Amino acid sequence: MQNLYLRFISKSLLISSLLLSSGLAVASGLQVSPIFLSLQARENASGLTLSNSGNDKVQAQVRVYQWSQNSEGEQLTPSRGLLASPPMIEIDPEERQLIRIIRAKAPPQGTGAVEDAYRVLVNEIPIKSDNQKTGLQFALSYSLPVFVQPVGVTKTSPQLQWSTHLQPDGKEIKLRVSNRGNGHAQLAGLSFTDTAGKSTVINPGLLGYVLPGAIMNWTLNVAPSVLTSGGKFKVMMNGTQTTPDVKMDTSIR
């Protein structure tokens, strides 16, 4: 079952990379807004608005999962910290429905506390329509990040360490990013500019997230020779362009 949840994440991250600037996710007639939630420690609930811009009724299921990252990548487990109400909805054309995301446990607290991370999965459920002329229906799933801030912290922030590693085949470069901060890092728009000023776009959309305490690895879609002459990476981190300090390791490991 967990592999199924991870497919939801992969599909949703691709959708999010295309919609980062719009703040709106769209699946046929189903629209979900916003695509990101952050709850302060004092807040007990927030909300998502699901609306139907199509011509037929829309059914959707809303589920919440605790989100973590380890050496195997993204992990989702059933959540007891956040709940969605209502978890099942039906929306008529041109109507909308508020989904409350309710905090069901105390926020993170204590020395060294970091934000809690969750994902809300919104799954459109296909409905057989009288107007449907073919047997083909499209129903997409969206995975929306939700973060709960620790007690006594107005805003969390990531502290990242970056390095690149040439793989044993000598043909691939892996980017490793670790996060020692108390908040997540959303990474997008990764590029590399060499010492001659030539810029190479490596990943134009969403690269991924690095949660507090996690280490994430990505295989870069670029020839190792592009990096060997030296230069600088640029990346959008939480919506702000930055030039990270990257340790360039060209030894095979």
* Cα angle 183-186-189, degrees, rounded to a multiple of 5: 155
150: DSSP letter = P
| Letter string b/e over residues 145-154, b meaning 16 or more CB atoms within 10 A of that residue's CB | bbbbbbeebe
CATH number for the domain whose boundaries are 2-148: 2.60.40.10
Domain ranges of the chain: 2-148, 160-252
Q: Could you give phi then psi for residue 113, rounded to 5 degrees?
A: -65, 140
What does pTM read for this prediction?
0.84
Identical fold between 2-148 and 160-252? yes
Q: Between 160 and 12, name the one with better pLDDT.
A: 160
- Rounded Cα distance between 45 and 125, Å, is 25
| Signed CA dihedral, 223, 225, 228, 229: sign only | negative
The model's pLDDT over 102-141, given as tens digits with 9 standing for 90+, comes to 999 999 998 899 999 999 999 998 877 666 555 556 677 8
Distance between CA atoms of 123 and 126, rounded to whole angstroms? 9
Name the percent of the chain lying above pLDDT 90: 66
Residue by residue, DSSP assigns 167-184 as: -TTSS-EEEEEEE-SSS-
CATH of 160-252, one of 2.60.40, 1.10.287, 1.10.760, 1.20.272: 2.60.40
Q: List the Cα angle 94/98/104 in 5-degree steps.
A: 160
